[in-house]
Amino acid sequence: MHKNRAMPVSSGSRRWLFSGLLGLFLAAHFPAVSQPSQPSQPTPPGEAVRLRIVGGLASVSQYQRHEEPFWTQTLGRLSAGRYAASIVPFDRAGVPGQDMLTLIRLGVVPFGTALLGLVAGQYPELSAPDLAALNPDVATLRKVVAAFRPVLAGAMRERHGAELLAVYMYPAQVVFCREPLRGLNDLSGRRTRVSSSTQSDFVVSVGGVPVLTPFAEVTASIRSGSTDCAITGAASGKAIGLPAVTKAIYTLPISWGLAVFAANLDAWRSLPEDLRVLLLKEMPKLEAAIWEEAEHQSAFERPCNATATCAPGSLEALAVVRPSPADQILRKRIFERQVLPGWVERCGPDCPALWDTTIGPVVGIKAPAYR
């Protein structure tokens, strides 16, 4: 399914490579948790179970208000103290995000969160529901994810040895710019920070220059003038100080930062049955709360207006530029002519059919043939 993929590392070598990571990971983030028994040995009835979770991004409210409290408080309450969990955000876990699916498959991370944008370099088909310019609003995103979810669940189980438990959404990935802009065409000629191949396709299509910049270096890059704009979430941009070095925020959702939360199959099957039943009941509620939080944060409601001054350097003080009807027409044209063909080229000969039987009918766009 994939074109030009690098020669894979053998399973034995990968397991040897990551076995050291397991010890470091447990020691650094779960010092009170002993290494688990072999996954093939189910937990004896009546024995307390403490799960080890790698969650989402640390700085966003989805993690702080929903993920962390669920695992550290709600799980224990719902199970009357029989079950508990320790959680660490993936960006502070000390493991490479692009390898999260491998870590889950090998059992290094028994329960983990993988950002689809990060793992798409190895598995481009998984990025299909969050391609740049595909989803102009949350309503469309919900329909697209629902159509593609069976594929995600099947891929997790069959190719990655994992049980899909949730699909998380982050707030809209929008555009911060150092200088004012009026709309999408004003990105032409500007150097814009991107975090994925599909975002790069989008920026090139409007005449811009994509710059792949690590998240931690985005603010410094704009401050120095080496980049003019940056695609990232509004809340995460605020967290790293982007409002202090930019003047405008363009609210067209370029993408949404989808993530999957999955369990290693052996670890999942070794859990007590009542715990599996509990998680299957409660995970959809956690997922719904995270989506609601992200949707609210994507609304760009201003707490300050003509009667209340916005603090200089705050997110609210930025000039908010909303996409015009012409921008939306251009967005769709760019997606059909550049972004989707670029994904098909990276994904491989099986991917046009994958698209046409899942997402294509939802958005009314047929995939081009693989060349």
Q: Is the pLDDT of residue 33 over 70?
A: no
Please answer whether residues 232 and 215 qualify as being in contact, where contact means their C-beta atoms are separated by less than 8 angstroms: yes
Q: Quick one: how far is CA 312 from the chain centroid?
A: 30
Please answer whether residues 257 and 233 qualify as being in contact, where contact means their C-beta atoms are separated by less than 8 angstroms: yes
Global pTM value: 0.85
- Round to whole Å and give the CA distance between 292 and 71: 19
> 65 is in which domain, residue-wise?
49-365
Sorted by sequence, the CB contacts under 8 Å of residue 51 that are 6+ apart come out as 71, 75, 83, 84, 85, 86, 110, 111
- Round to whole Å and give the CA distance between 272 and 44: 8
Tokens of 260: 């999957």
Angle between helices 273-297 and 138-160 (to 10 degrees): 150
- Could you count the other beta carbons within 10 Å of the beta carbon of residue 180? 12
| DSSP letter (8 states) at residue 208 | -
- The partner residues of 112 in beta bridges, in order of sequence, read 54, 262
- The partner residues of 71 in beta bridges, in order of sequence, read none
Q: What's the confidence (pLDDT) of residue 12? A: 44
**In terms of Cα–Cα distance, which of 37, 39, 34, 33 is closest to 106?**
39
**Structural domain includes residue 12:** no
H or E segment to which residue 162 belongs:
strand 162-168
For the chain, how many residues are written? 371
**Structural domain includes residue 19:** no
DSSP E strands: which ranges in 40-110? 49-55, 83-89
Please answer whether residues 368 and 352 qualify as being in contact, where contact means their C-beta atoms are separated by less than 8 angstroms: yes
Task: Give the domain CATH number at 258.
Answer: 3.40.190.170
**In terms of Cα–Cα distance, which of 84, 85, 113, 87 is closest to 99?**
113
Q: What's the confidence (pLDDT) of residue 42? A: 56
**Structural domain includes residue 18:** no
Digit-coded pLDDT (tens) for 197-238: 999 999 999 999 999 988 889 999 999 999 999 999 888 888
Q: Angle 171-343-324 (CA atoms, 0-180°, nearest 5)?
A: 50
Q: What is the number of alpha carbons within 13 Å of residue 328 lying toward its C-beta?
A: 7
Q: In what order do the strands lie in the sheet with 229-233?
A: 209-212, 191-194, 229-233, 173-177, 248-255, 319-321
Tokens 């670890």 -> residue: 267
Q: Is the pLDDT of residue 322 over 90?
A: yes
**Structural domain includes residue 53:** yes
Q: Is the pLDDT of residue 16 over 80?
A: no
- Round to whole Å and give the CA distance between 173 and 153: 25
Digit-coded pLDDT (tens) for 131-164: 999 999 999 999 999 999 999 999 999 999 999 9
Q: Is the pLDDT of residue 31 over 80?
A: no
**Structural domain includes residue 41:** no
CA quadruple 297, 298, 304, 310: dihedral sign: positive
**Structural domain includes residue 311:** yes
Tokens of 140: 């469309």
Residue 5 — pLDDT band, cuts 50, 70, 90?
Answer: very low
For the purposes of burial, counting CB atoms within 10 Å of the CB of 115, is it exposed (0-12), middle (13-18) or buried (19 or more)? buried
- Round to whole Å and give the CA distance between 279 and 75: 9
**Structural domain includes residue 169:** yes
Distance spanning both ends of the chain, measured CA to CA: 13
Q: What's the confidence (pLDDT) of residue 214? A: 84
Q: Is the pLDDT of residue 9 over 50?
A: no
Q: Is the pLDDT of residue 89 over 60?
A: yes
Q: Is the pLDDT of residue 43 over 90?
A: no
Q: What's the confidence (pLDDT) of residue 15? A: 46
Tokens of 60: 């966003």
Digit-coded pLDDT (tens) for 235-252: 888 888 999 999 999 999
Q: How many domains does the chain have?
A: 1
Q: What's the confidence (pLDDT) of residue 3? A: 46
Alpha-carbon dihedral 357, 198, 296, 221, rounded to 10 degrees: 170
Q: What's the confidence (pLDDT) of residue 308? A: 54
Please answer whether residues 95 and 109 qualify as being in contact, where contact means their C-beta atoms are separated by less than 8 angstroms: yes
**Structural domain includes residue 228:** yes
Q: Whole-number mean pLDDT of the chain?
A: 86
- Could you count the other beta carbons within 10 Å of the beta carbon of residue 285? 13
